[in-house]
Amino acid sequence: MDTYILKTKDLCRDFKRQHAVSDISLSITKNSVYGLLGPNGAGKSTTLKMITGMLHPTSGEIFFENHPWSRNDLTKIGALIESPPLYENLTAKENLKVRTLLLGLPDSRIQEVLEIVSLTDTGKKHAGQFSMGMKQRLGIAIALLNYPKLLILDEPTNGLDPIGIQDLRNLIRSFPEQGITVILSSHILSEVELIADHIGIIAGGSLGYEGKINPGEDLESLFMQVVKNSKKAGA
């Protein structure tokens, strides 16, 4: 039987009169990679922000390791949502140092995460002068600092070059066997197909599909169908 690290039940988030996320119930299997797919404005980031405590749900529930989610669970969750939270006038190492101090982690962890994301040679350059891909890598390094059990990456390949994308794909694929579950969001179907064990497709704030990726399945037509159905439902 699958065990779940995280479940959401009828999760909703309104902004003024807009239902950005409506009744989303996700089941994330432990030690797997879960791809959250959806077009622009579908509600992916809003959902991930609720799971990471950046936004309060309007209604619904979140369960982490089979208990109702609380802020304490954030010690086991690492996240990179939208743009990486960097101090622009500090170097990569200094950015990580600030956080190891806050988290009470040893200095040695800084070099470890920099090696994981292949960002060991930026020296004295400030994060403000980093390329988009370098910023993204540093953001992932920050998300990994506290040895998370659940890693949440919102559009992680944003700004990465093809080598960076391949490196990141291999890296993400190595996480489940290290006891790290990954939720990543994307609108790039081919990326998710190569990386995820399970997918959820969101459109118009609703979950239109959740399941395993079956070999040979036409993900594009499934995606289009979900988007079409959500437009019909919203019309």
Query: What is the binding site for Mg ion (CB under 5 A)?
Result: 44-45
By a kind-dependent CB cut-off of 5 to 8 A, residue 40 interacts, out of ligand ATP, Mg ion, none, with ligand ATP
82 closest CA partner among 124, 54, 111, 104: 54
48 closest CA partner among 72, 88, 20: 20
Q: Quick check: 109 binds ligand ATP (CB under 6 A)?
A: no
Q: Quick check: 234 binds ligand ATP (CB under 6 A)?
A: no
Residue with smaller CB distance to ligand ATP, 95 or 186: 186
By a kind-dependent CB cut-off of 5 to 8 A, residue 87 interacts, out of ligand ATP, Mg ion, none, with none
Q: Quick check: 179 binds ligand ATP (CB under 6 A)?
A: no
Residue with smaller CB distance to Mg ion, 44 or 99: 44
Say which residue the tokens 């994330």 belong to.
28
Could you give the residue ranges of the DSSP H alpha helices within the chain? 44-51, 92-103, 108-116, 132-144, 162-174, 189-195, 219-234
- Of 116, 167, 187, 224, the residue at the interface with ligand ATP (CB under 6 A) is 187
CB 40 to ligand ATP: min, Å: 3
C-alpha to C-alpha distance for 136 and 160, rounded to whole angstroms: 8
C-alpha to C-alpha distance for 120 and 114, rounded to whole angstroms: 5
C-alpha to C-alpha distance for 218 and 223, rounded to whole angstroms: 9
For the beta carbon of residue 229, count every other beta carbon within 10 angstroms.
15
Contacts with 206 (C-beta within 8 Å, 6 or more apart), sequence order: 22, 23, 24, 43, 230, 233
Tell me phi and psi for residue 190, to 5 degrees.
-65, -35
Residue with smaller CB distance to ligand ATP, 43 or 78: 43
Stretch that binds ligand ATP, among 44-52, 101-109, 127-135, 168-176 (CB under 6 A): 44-52
**Contact present, 38 and 49 (Cβ < 8 Å):** no
- x/- string (CB under 6 A) for ligand ATP, residues 18-37? --x-----------------
Total of chain residues touching ligand ATP, rule CB under 6 A: 11
Q: Quick check: 38 binds ligand ATP (CB under 6 A)?
A: yes
- Of 24, 32, 43, 196, the residue at the interface with ligand ATP (CB under 6 A) is 43
Binding site for ligand ATP (CB under 6 A): 15, 20, 38, 40-46, 187
